[in-house]
Amino acid sequence: MTVLFLALGIAIGKYKCYWLISGYNTASNEARQKIDIENVGKNLAKMSYIVAGINFLGALAAYFLQAGISVLVCILLMLIVIFYYAWKVQKYDHSSNSKAAKIILAITIVFVIAINIPIFYAANKSSEVEILKESLKITGTYGKTMKKESITEIKLIDNIPEIKMRTNGISLGKIQKGNYKIEGINKGVLFLEDSNGPFIQITTKTYTVFINYKDDSKTTDLYDKLSSEFNIK
């Protein structure tokens, strides 16, 4: 997203690609005459640069600090910046559609935030492992239920194979959950709260699960419980 907003700022601010500005690109010639597109373009370019910077700093904070709080602060700052510039550019737009465009922008932003907040909440909620009579159940988003008879190996490791790409999941700082392509593994499912070990690897006949927690002791305690349940020496 950082690169996207940076590219947008350069395209509009430096190369005058005003056709990228929503509303202006579909406006009639008469409506365009009522818009000071030079000043609109300059302000939207500034907005794009600021949002790109917030995204970049937010990504760093999410990786090195607490992901959930960092992302929420990042979203809040972006909202403030976007609403400010949306309000500011209105004085350069003298068309009758100005108020309607502002309302549409506000609704769009609220809609996007409403979709993303549950995702951030789900990413930061720990995935717990429940040992049932005939299966292991991993709770939360992208949770799995594995029949005990399908589990071929459980081990505690310090490093996991290289993660190639996410196919269906969430990546938020050090948090990675969902389905991933992993070096040397046909199908990998991650429930990671930290990029550093230890990790628990649970191999089944159809896929391999990697799970850990921010607190190393919680990871090792879970492994001890699994070792006892599956008689791992």
pLDDT digits over 61-81, tens only? 766 776 667 777 888 888 888
Do the strands 185-192 and 208-211 form a parallel or antiparallel pair, or are they unpaired?
A: parallel
CA distance 1 to 56: 9
SS3 42: helix
Mean per-residue pLDDT of the chain: 86
Q: Which of 74, 47, 46, 49 lies closest to 60, judged by CA?
A: 74
CA 161 to CA 225: how far, in whole Å? 24
pLDDT tens for 1-48 read: 788 889 989 999 999 999 888 777 777 788 788 889 999 899 999 999
pLDDT band at 106 (very low <50, low <70, confident <90, very high): low
Cβ-proximal residues to 62 (8 Å cutoff; 6+ apart), any chain: 70, 71, 74, 172, 173, 174
pTM over 0.75: no
The pLDDT assigned to 60 comes to 79
